[in-house]
Chains A and B, each alone.
Chain A
Amino acid sequence: MKTNKIGSKKKRLPNPKRVFLYFLLILFVFLTLLPLWSAVMTALKTQEALIYSNPIQPPIKPSLDAFGTAFNELRRPILNSLMFTILATLLSCVLGSMTGYALTKVKFRGANTIFLFIIIGIFIPYQAVLIPLVQIIIELGLWGEISGLILTHTAYGIPICTLLFKSFYDSIPDSLINAAKIDGAGIGNTYLHVVLPLSVTPFVVTAVFQFTQIWNDLLFGLVLTGAGVSQPASVALLNLQGGFVTAWNVQMAGTLWYTIPSLIVYLVLGKYLIKGFMTGAIKG
């Protein structure tokens, strides 16, 4: 339901209020995108150009050198990140969906309590579990391995994924479920044939959200891999800074490389994320 601005019919002269409105909006766009713009400009410059131009000016002779250097360093880590992010996202979504369904559509006592217990997990600071987590992963022999990261991210993703799916499933009419029951479907079959086909939207919303969360993580990457072969791109980006000197063009180029996958996901599927946020996944 949109709030109607009274009397806003098409006018021939621009309404000063509207001009001001668009001015503000564009100003905020500028403020929002300024850092990114500067990053792109900086990444396109050579070391020398960096010294002689200011960070917002486009380079006179754009150079892709920085991108090349950064990519060499980040190639493997980005591959690592893609690998565990995609797998962990899939697992989180599947588990979230199953859990959300079981706690919403299967009416049993204690469902709500279990639900509450699970979603408290959304809010825990990772520092409060960090030391034990490292120990567990070490014990399982998964330290320094991508599988360790997959397990970790899946486990910590369950609370939010459950919440997202449950919010969506709440809006599926119970009558659908009951109809399936009457037809003799058990819980599993109901899930497969009734609920799952309806779940494309929440899958997309959750997948985008989880992908972003996992891709962006730094802390787990830092403490669970040794900046070795399995390091995520976020940790590698940290390492891109020179020992003492930071080559800003390379650093910015690296930052942009790192941003690209999540940016693509966002631009392609962001609409669903926004829709998801707005239609009540985050109502409370």
Chain B
Amino acid sequence: MDPKKQSIIIGLIAVIATAGIVGGVMYAILAPSEEGEADVLEIYHWWTSGGEAAAIGALVDVFEGLYPDTTVKQRAISGGSGITMIPIITALVLAGEAPDAFQMHAGYEGIAYYEADLLEDINDIWTDNNLEAVIPDVVQSMCQFEGDFYMVPVNIHRSNVVWYNLKELEAVGVDPKTLTNWTAFFDACFEFEDANPGKDAIALGHAWTQAHLFEQILASQGIDVYENWINGLITNTTDADISAALDILATFMSYTNDDFDSLSWNEATDLLIQDNSVFNIMGDWANGEFLVANSVYDDDYGTIAVPGTGNMYGLVVDAFQHPAGVANPENSDRWLEVVASKEGQDAFNPLKGSISARTDSNLTLYEPYHDWTGADFASVTYMFPSVVHGSGAPQSFSAELNAIINAFCTGAANKADTAAAIANLAADNIADYTTTWALD
């Protein structure tokens, strides 16, 4: 190239190079050095949207009220179910830079850290704060590994909820309270679609929402069935209960919207709100959607337990733990205490849409919807930990389950193959089982 251009380019490169190097040096010197800051609490979570963000904010406020000299650093990594956060925590932990606490689902999600001796037991926190008295047994077992406590629950979400559009159901003469079994449920679906051609009775979303649905259906076959399943005892590829569950799922799919695989969970719930569907099975974080749309509980919308699970409470529990070797262990413990306290939980849960994990929470702070869940929580016979939401079974199990069910729902796999794949989950992941659940 001609010399003039050449010198211009050389000049440009020189300028950029200098800028880069100077910038780099300045950056290294001036960048806020994270270590060496005295009083910090660093927490990771994936509560990035709306109500969730407000909820964690309220909890942090309670903490800061008690410990005003501590700086709380929140790292919110978006991606439902921690799908993006978990690999990052993995890398952080490997690098020996675990944060002071990070969001985790109680149960199996923490097992990898436990087995690598990366968590410290917090029996003393449970004892000092008298938590065993106020937290239900099944939830407690979800917070333990081999008998010791390693985490505190921050909330209880219910997974086995059917949301229904009350006005639309009344218009076709269906009383949702009568839908306690699948036959009645599907009859109601039929009634709705008959009277509203072009609309689908059930709204469903993509990815994990389908596996979420499946585990509810499985629970409806009996708590003992579910218990055997998560204990890895169902290994027969032609198991009758799995087969029955898949049949129900297939019927279910015949009443759902065609574009389910491209809708996120809340877009599916929105279909209900827009009067385009009448039923949606989703955890109770869906309540937020109704609130935002100014729907009124027991007027515009309502809830029942998934048919067949009336006496059960499907648990989705978020928790925090004390990683080993963290930068600020005292703050880590303080955080856990605040999280587990009545004050903390009463600040967090009403905004989050879950209920407190404590049986002594102040129920007046909650939405009308929570009257229903709160009452059920105190009175159900059985509780079961969700697999899809990280608690009931090893991570590989739930990760593969998602794909298996998705394949079935989209028609990529037939019933026989799906049943076989589900049965094989137990065998494939046998090395990762460490707990035997006792749900009844």
Contacts and interface: CB of A to CB of B under 8 A. Distances in A.
Q: Do chains A and B touch in the complex (CB under 8 A)?
A: yes
Contact of B24 (A87, A229, A246): A87
Contact of B94 (A87, A138, A238): A138
6 contacts: A86-B19, A200-B9, A227-B77, A229-B31, A229-B34, A242-B49
A207 B14 CA distance: 13
B66 interface: no
Nearest to A85: B20
Interface in A211-261: 222-224, 226-229, 238-246
A134 B46 CA distance: 24
Interface of B: 1, 6, 9-10, 13, 16-17, 19-21, 23-24, 27-28, 31-32, 34, 46-49, 52, 75, 77-80, 84-85, 87-88, 91-92, 94-97, 264-267
Contacts of A191: none
B91 A87 contact: no
Contact of B87 (A222, A245, A246): A222
Given A90-B20, A239-B84, A143 B46 contact: no
B78 A242 contact: yes
Contact of A241 (B19, B78, B266, B267): B78
A77 interface: no
A209 to B, nearest CB: 15
Interface string A180-215: 000000000000000000001101100100000000
Contacts of B267: 245
A134 B77 contact: no
A238 B1 CA distance: 40
A2 B194 CA distance: 69
A122 interface: no
Contact of A87 (B21, B77, B92): B21
B94 A243 contact: no
A241 B85 CA distance: 13
A interface, how many residues as a size bin? 20 to 34
A239 B78 contact: yes
Interface in A148-185: none
A102 interface: no
A83 B24 contact: yes
A86 B25 CA distance: 13
A96 interface: no
Query: Which of A201, A223, A228: most chain B Cβ within 10 A?
Result: A228
A100 interface: no
A222 B79 CA distance: 14
B47 A244 contact: no
B79 A241 contact: yes
Nearest to A143: B95
Interface of A: 83, 86-87, 90, 134-135, 138, 143-144, 146-147, 200-201, 203-204, 207, 222-224, 226-229, 238-246
A201 B77 contact: no
A201 B264 contact: no
A86 B48 contact: no
Nearest to A147: B28
A244 B95 contact: no
A144 B264 CA distance: 32
Contacts of A239: 77-79, 84
Contact of B23 (A83, A144, A226, A243): A83
B204 to A, nearest CB: 15
Contact of B1 (A83, A201, A241, A246): A201
Nearest to B27: A83
B16 A144 contact: no
A36 to B, nearest CB: 22
B327 to A, nearest CB: 13
Given A227-B75, A229-B31, 12 more contacts: A83-B27, A86-B16, A90-B20, A200-B9, A226-B97, A239-B77, A239-B84, A243-B46, A243-B47, A243-B48, A244-B264, A246-B264
A200 B10 contact: yes
Nearest to A131: B94
Contacts of A83: 20, 23-24, 27
Contacts of A238: 84
Contacts of B79: 239, 241, 243
A144 B97 contact: yes
A147 B27 CA distance: 11
Contact of A138 (B19, B47, B78, B96): B96
A135 B1 CA distance: 45
A241 B79 CA distance: 7
A65 B424 CA distance: 50
A241 B264 CA distance: 12
A124 to B, nearest CB: 21
Contacts of B13: 203-204, 207
B91 A226 contact: yes
Contact of A200 (B6, B20, B52, B94): B6
Nearest to A269: B9
Contacts of A244: 49, 80, 264-266
